[in-house]
Structure 1
Amino acid sequence: MSLIDQVIRPDVRAMSAYAVADSEGFLKLDAMENPYTLPQALKVELASRLVNVALNRYPVPSYTNLKAKICRCMGIPEGYGIMLGNGSDELISLVAQACATKDHPAKMIAPVPGFVMYALSAQFAGMEFIGIPLKTDFTLDTEAMLSAIEEHRPAVVYLSQPHNPTGTLFEEKDVIRIIEAMSDKGIVISDEAYQPFAEASFMSKLPVYPNLVVMRTVSKLGLAGIRLGYMSATAELLAEFDKVRPPYNVNVLTEATAEFAMDHIDVFNRQAAIIRSEREKLAQALEKLPGVEVFPSRANFLLVRIPDANEVFEKLLSRKILIKNMGKMHTLLQNCLRITVSSPEENRQFLDQFSACIQ
């Protein structure tokens, strides 16, 4: 038996590492990133702040100033706090760690196809993940979700608002039915990574539903590089999750940059407004192309279905255009491509190349 066989878990050995495509020299439309950089004056201001950061010191793990600014800028209800993570990925992992049980594995439920980190975090923590397929139009199968909740009594239910990879914004009444069905069983996490583009949120519902957690990230807002996520819930829930958080999980450069961003949140909000407008223009242009089905999106990306997605994806790659081929992720996504909404210039460039590839 090899060393790897002796020390690495069998399920981990059977996995592949999370793959990130090489994007050097490509028009990069595969990762739902904000295409805009900071204006020059703000770059200078940010540099002046970062140069004074004490890199020789650990962060102060309470992150008091940053938390206060996020609460003020992001509509956290009065009396509610937040917990910070190294991106939402870490928060998802910490929730699983806190909720996993040893004797009988706790369960996690989420719609599928969905964000892969839900299932992975459950697997790594020793939870059982149960995926409930969306309907064929990518709307939420509420009755199936409710039946699964009653049968499995999960500790955690994830609902992405809007959903990744479809862009669907689930109906508020359906989400509330699920929150209420979970009231005596566990927590419901509204993962609002794409909230700046949806202009809808369950954040204001936190005081109404003690089992609700709202999770967000600043990545899609234009700060993917600093890796910062946050979540809000009752003080009692956050205190329990905080017990499994590494004490210095947010580094001082991220902390300083995020504080700067909150001071200039109007700049990022204006960028989000441009992307929302461009999303509608791009969707309308794609709908006019032969054989292209565009699904409704409230995120900063569009999901489309075409007859020959694999062929078109490869053609775009040869033209240095990088989007996401979703066909292998789930049977519901057969022949689907996911396209990040970018700037007007990059959207036009993509449309020109995409139109040529589907002829």
Structure 2
Amino acid sequence: MNTPLNTNPMARIRQDVQSMHAYAIQNSAGMLKLDAMENPFALPLPLQAELGRRLGAVAINRYPGARIDELKRALEQHIDLPPGHALMLGNGSDELISLIAMGCDLPGATILAPLPGFVMYAMSAQLQGLGFHGVPLTAGFELDEAAMLAAMREHRPAITYLAYPNNPTANLWDAAVIRRLIAEAASFGGLVVMDEAYQPFSSHTWLDEMRAHPGANAHVLLMRTLSKFGLAGVRIGYLVGPQALVHEFDKLRPPYNVSVLNAECALFALEHADVFAGQAAQIREQRERLVAALAAMPGVTPFPSQANMVLVRVPDAKRSFEALKAQGVLVKNVSTMHPLLAQCLRLTVGSPDENTQLLRALQTAL
């Protein structure tokens, strides 16, 4: 007896995909947008005009070509690429995370990361068919070294993600602990990916470790994005690591994954890196102002930050989030993302005026 054909096209889509929720982006129309860790500063008007002329001259009728290689060289110079290392471009960090998972998709392979952390680590594992193991941080949002080592020894993950600083907790972890975790991964041939999305606001970079101790970091990849540099709308990420490793992942990169317009914007920004460095300095200053003002509010606990965001615990996160939204201020309610984030909001550090509005609105909300 023939089995009846299922003619519903939804049957061709994986059941786990149908059960997923799409990445949620809050509607920010008419709001003070402090929910997505964006640079609050626009380009100065003269630079806007100059960039417009540059983009107008781009050959958009042609596929991306040599200009992409020029962007790679500019980034290599910008970060002082260590000897023996290579750089690979991605359409934002998200594409790089997917490609790393794809490249390591061997039978039984897993990904491991501390939690709470960036949601795309777990999502990339699910979409590529790898197992995912999350290891809770301590109550103070530090790495639980014993738990991390135990999980690594049990699962021997193909990839261990360490965000430096972390999202959404915004803190840097102890470098000595990270070195021991990297050494543990080396003992079974696992990769460690240092995610430095928020590097412009951080006091440390793991690239210095890779440069000073290449042998100990021979299985370490470092990932950055220009989104926090000030180009969130441009979607440029890049991966740095030993040449042999990067060469393999580069094979998975779709042809022309970086558009000529995006590349031109990125090249323009690197030519004016001093402008963006000045903006980052202002954001770091405003971060300290924001943390101090939050700490002075009764019932409010801000956590130390090395990023362009501040994690803050309030008496009632849902109520405060809604009260802020009613006043036209949009932040991120992370209180339900993980038990360690109970009653926490994540606040993007804005411009001086935006931070003044945020603090005033939060005082009213409380």
TM-score (norm 2): 0.95
Could you list the per-position Cα deviations for residues 111-136 of structure 1 after superposition, in whole angstroms to 9, with x for gaps in the alignment? 01110000000100010010000001
2:346 corresponds to which residue?
338
1:284 corresponds to which residue?
292
Matched, 1:174 2:156: no
What one-letter code is carried by the residue in structure 2 that aligns with 1:229?
G
Moved beyond 4 Å, runs of 4+:
none
1-structure distance, mates of 2:338, 2:7: 34
1:11 corresponds to which residue?
16
Does the 8 Å CA contact 2:40/2:351 hold for their aligned counterparts? yes
Pairwise CA RMSD:
1.2
What one-letter code is carried by the residue in structure 2 that aligns with 1:25?
G
1:303 corresponds to which residue?
311
The unaligned stretches of length 5 or more in structure 2 are 1-5
Does the 8 Å CA contact 2:33/2:329 hold for their aligned counterparts? yes
Matched, 1:20 2:25: yes
Does the 8 Å CA contact 1:75/1:203 hold for their aligned counterparts? no
2:198 corresponds to which residue?
194
Aligned residues: 356
Query: What is the CA distance between 1:40 and its match in structure 2?
Result: 1.2
Does the 8 Å CA contact 1:58/1:248 hold for their aligned counterparts? yes
1:143 corresponds to which residue?
146
1-structure distance, mates of 2:21, 2:66: 33
1:84 corresponds to which residue?
89
* Counterpart among 58, 69, 73 of residue 74 in structure 2: 69
What one-letter code is carried by the residue in structure 2 that aligns with 1:38?
L
Matched, 1:239 2:247: yes
2-structure distance, mates of 1:302, 1:59: 38
What one-letter code is carried by the residue in structure 2 that aligns with 1:117?
M
2-structure distance, mates of 1:238, 1:202: 17
The unaligned stretches of length 5 or more in structure 1 are none
What one-letter code is carried by the residue in structure 2 that aligns with 1:172?
A
What one-letter code is carried by the residue in structure 1 that aligns with 2:69?
T
SS of residue in 2 equivalent to 1:36 = coil
2-structure distance, mates of 1:297, 1:308: 21
2:102 corresponds to which residue?
97
How do residues 205-284 of structure 1 correspond to structure 2 at under 5 angstroms? 205-206=209-210, 207-208=214-215, 209-284=217-292
How do residues 318-329 of structure 1 correspond to structure 2 at under 5 angstroms? 318-329=326-337
Could you list the per-position Cα deviations for residues 196-235 of structure 1 after superposition, in whole angstroms to 9, with x for gaps in the alignment? 1013111133323110101000001110000000010011
1-structure distance, mates of 2:30, 2:279: 24
Does the 8 Å CA contact 1:67/1:81 hold for their aligned counterparts? no
2:115 corresponds to which residue?
112
2-structure distance, mates of 1:31, 1:3: 38
Query: How much identity, in percent, do the aligned residues show?
Result: 49
- Between 1:176-185 and 1:132-141, the stretch displaced more is 176-185
How do residues 121-140 of structure 1 correspond to structure 2 at under 5 angstroms? 121-140=124-143
- Between 1:163-172 and 1:206-215, the stretch displaced more is 206-215
1-structure distance, mates of 2:113, 2:9: 32
